[in-house]
Amino acid sequence: MAFDLDDLIAALALHEVEPGVVEGDNLDIGYHRVFGGQILAQALTAVAEAMPDKTIKSLHVLFPREGDTAAPMRYAVTKLQEGRTFGTTQVIAQQGGKVISTALASVHATEDGLHRSDGPPPTDPPSSAALVDLGMVPWETRLVGGVDLADRSAGPPNLQWWMRTPPIGDALHLHQALLAHATDLTVIGTALRPFDGLSQADSTVTLHTAVTSHTLWFHQPFRVDQWLLVAQHSPVVARGRAFGRGDVFAGDELVASFAQESMIRQVPVTA
């Protein structure tokens, strides 16, 4: 990995290039394609800055085309609706006039109401989970149960992992953006676990993989600089596509959920 947490936070410092359009730098990931988690985090930041009086409750993103790390990413931000309690904003990421991603975000003014939450699944605490380097997530991550997503032996389509950043301040949208970045990484690897002889290590080698859509829901405030448990499951892989979903827990509370569809194609074997 060629970037650290400071680099990621710097990439979220978007600057206006014209009214309604902001631009952000790309992370150096050692590859020509822009990491989708970066786009999720930057799009979320663009919404938060455009509608600062509300908090983001969901973000729905499509990735019709891969981005190029050699060119900065521009985001056209359009407020589609803004009411007293809810609002909707569109964010289109572009490079060279081509659409890289389209996003719709829903925002919500803080309000009180009924409250309950599912608790987390039974799992090992962070101290018993294996410290691993997930590559694109530049902070402490720990996988439960000794799972190795590069292992090509068959396993269940589930994954649980812990994450925690160093202290980053109190801005809620920054905590949301960093979680969004992290959720883009391990869903494909989880979907591949049941296939004997394959793993996410085969991406770009014997498999073509790419995220086609990603959605996040933020249920409650949370901090990424305190332990979060990410619990994932992939229920189906079919017709060149995989689907996976996850829940994020802070203590006993469900604070966020996400779902992702991706393309998974086997590279034809040539003689």
Q: What confidence tens digit (pLDDT) does each residue in 150-166 have?
A: 999 999 999 999 999 99
Q: Flag whether 37 is in a domain.
A: yes
Q: Which one-letter DSSP state was computed for residue 16?
A: E
Same domain, 65 and 167: no
Q: Is residue 233 part of a domain?
A: yes
**Cβ atoms of 137 and 181 closer than 8 Å:** yes
Domain count, the chain: 2
51 and 148 housed in the same domain: no
pLDDT at 106: 98
Domain with 26 in it: what CATH number? 3.10.129.10
Last residue of a domain, one of 82, 110, 138: 110
Taking all residues of the chain, what is their mean pLDDT, rounded to a whole number? 95
Structural domain containing residue 174: 124-271
* 112, 61 Cβ separation under 8 angstroms: no
Residue 31: its pLDDT value, please? 84
Q: Are residues 28 and 90 in the same domain?
A: yes
Global confidence as pTM: 0.96
Give the model's pLDDT for residue 92: 98
Distances (CA, A) of 251 to 118, 220, 230, 233, 257: 11, 12, 11, 20, 15
Q: Same structural domain for residues 89 and 143? A: no
